[in-house]
A = this chain, B = another copy of it.
């Protein structure tokens, strides 16, 4: 009988010698499964449950790459437990960095992946021309629902593809959720009706666990086609739930994930924001672009893009959404670097202008003059 395919996890370990790395890998394999020391569990669980050290190789001075594999069945069947297997207890140790996750078909088949993905987002926004998409966040927190709706209408009229809530907008008294949702969606509908455009509005649905379902229903009832979620504020499994059960595209925000990205301990940004956000069901993934006010390098961003777009079972590709300080003048260069299957999230660099909507309109025109992608979605 051939063995079913296994979950393969690659870690970089900070260790002086190969033997230390082998020993640490063994400790990780035990910690993340039986959580018992050598000899304190029945032998048959060694094969069925304990992670298996597949390989060990040097990375550079004092760092080793180890591959640990797990049986999909023994490891758990849901996304919270998958996170736990990948990095739960070992997050509390040091010198362990998860740099690759390869999931077998049997695990991928249980995860929804993006319901819309890049082709679906192009369809929703009628952006079939293969050119990059543009997203603007409405802000700041403290504005009334009316003020935010007015911004929505102006950005939609300017031809922005996706107008989303700032991720800090929840249910503040200044702009209560239900009122904001209704007025913003109406403003976008009206602008679309006037312009013939297909802008979509994505309200921030990051909510208390017992309110999330009703807010999702409300979003659907008001005709929203997409929502914003911050998976690490409410649990990555919320993305999976929306992707599986609601006809709404999910744009995922990286709030609270930054602590994972330390170079010698944590989870590589491309694995967390690329692979994990995508398999959970994110149609678009926001990340802090290089050159902005967060310290991601261009190389990191490119690897995230690649994880979001490359082949992965039968899963649709997710849309990379670089943001966090993207200067509008530089967008043509970023398109050149990242390719046209990218949605640029602009905020501060528009709001700094005297007339943000006019600046948005100029940006839309600039992007429409760019060459389309080689193979439009």
Q: Does A172 contact B74, Cβ atoms closer than 8 Å?
A: yes
Q: Which residues of B contact A288 (CB under 8 A)?
A: 92
Q: Is A174 an interface residue (CB 8 A)?
A: yes
In chain A between 24 and 40, which residues have their CB closer than 8 angstroms to a CB of chain B?
27, 31-37, 39-40
Q: Is A338 an interface residue (CB 8 A)?
A: no
Q: Which residues of B contact A37 (CB under 8 A)?
A: 348, 351-352
Q: Is A337 an interface residue (CB 8 A)?
A: no
Contact of A142 among B49, B173, B208 (CB under 8 A): B49
A288 to B93 CA separation, bound complex (whole angstroms): 10
Contact of A77 among B45, B171, B238, B351 (CB under 8 A): B171
Contact of A254 among B73, B92, B143, B170 (CB under 8 A): B92
Nearest B residue (CB) for A38 = B352
Q: Does B256 contact A351, Cβ atoms closer than 8 Å?
A: no
Q: Does B92 contact A166, Cβ atoms closer than 8 Å?
A: no
Q: Mark A71-105, 1 if CB is under 8 A from B, else 0.
A: 00111111111011101111111100000000000
Q: Which residues of B contact A41 (CB under 8 A)?
A: 140, 142, 351
6 A-B pairs whose Cβ atoms sit less than 8 Å apart in the complex? A31-B293, A35-B141, A74-B141, A91-B258, A92-B295, A208-B240
The chain A residues found within 8 Å of chain B, CB to CB, are 27, 31-37, 39-41, 45, 48-49, 73-81, 83-85, 87-94, 137, 139-143, 166-168, 170-174, 206-212, 230, 233-235, 237-238, 240-241, 245, 254-262, 265-267, 288, 293-296, 324, 347-348, 351-352
The 7 closest A-B pairs by CB, nearest first: A235-B235, A91-B258, A92-B258, A34-B140, A88-B255, A49-B142, A80-B233
Beyond known contacts A33-B140, A78-B211, A209-B238: 8 more, CB 8 A cutoff: A35-B140, A49-B142, A73-B173, A76-B141, A76-B170, A92-B324, A93-B294, A210-B241
